[in-house]
Amino acid sequence: MRSKIVLFILAYILWALLNWVPDWQHLLVGVFVSVFVVYLTAGLFPTRFKYLFDIKRYLWALYFIPVFLYECIRANFDVAYRVIHPDLPIKPGIVKIKTGLKSDIALTFLANSITLTPGTMTVDIDRSNGILYIHWINVRDTDIEGATKLIAGKFERILKGIFE
């Protein structure tokens, strides 16, 4: 029940933002729409809402945003450089990395962060063994430990702080 209330509040905020500027008609319709959305999707979302009020996780999230943005912008310059360079300096391949993260949402964020950081893109996840397959545009280390350190090293610790 509590998870449904939290989901309702989130859906309602999203509705209010989508119908900016708020007036009472939109807000009234939003109540019905949000109840309907919660009714449809309640089963799809995680239920560990006790973590929602854990301040430490929000601090980790605040730390995650600048690290992520920096890597994301660096990734763009990296790709732009490779594309413009007349010789096309790429050395692609698919490597394996190991991760200690277990929960669905942490793995999702790790995979998405890896995709948006320089030269790497998640191809597949093997959840039972904690292995991610990464397409790397410029392979620097084919070894599993070395690749893990180079690709996931920065994010894993932060995501552990946020989600686990």
Residues that bind another protein (CB under 8 A): 14, 17-18, 20-21, 72-73, 75-76, 78-80, 82-84, 88, 90-96, 108, 111-112, 115-116, 119, 121-124, 126, 133, 135, 137, 139, 142
In which element (H, E) is residue 135 found? strand 131-136
Q: Which is nearer to another protein, 29 or 72 (CB)?
A: 72
Q: Which is nearer to another protein, 85 or 102 (CB)?
A: 85
Q: Which is nearer to another protein, 99 or 122 (CB)?
A: 122
118: which 2 tokens?
Answer: 């320089």
Distance in Å, CB of 57 to another protein, minimum:
18
CB 132 within 8 A of CB 89: no
Collapsing DSSP to helix, strand or coil, 79 comes out as helix
Q: Where are the beta strands (DSSP E) in the chain?
A: 93-98, 120-126, 131-136
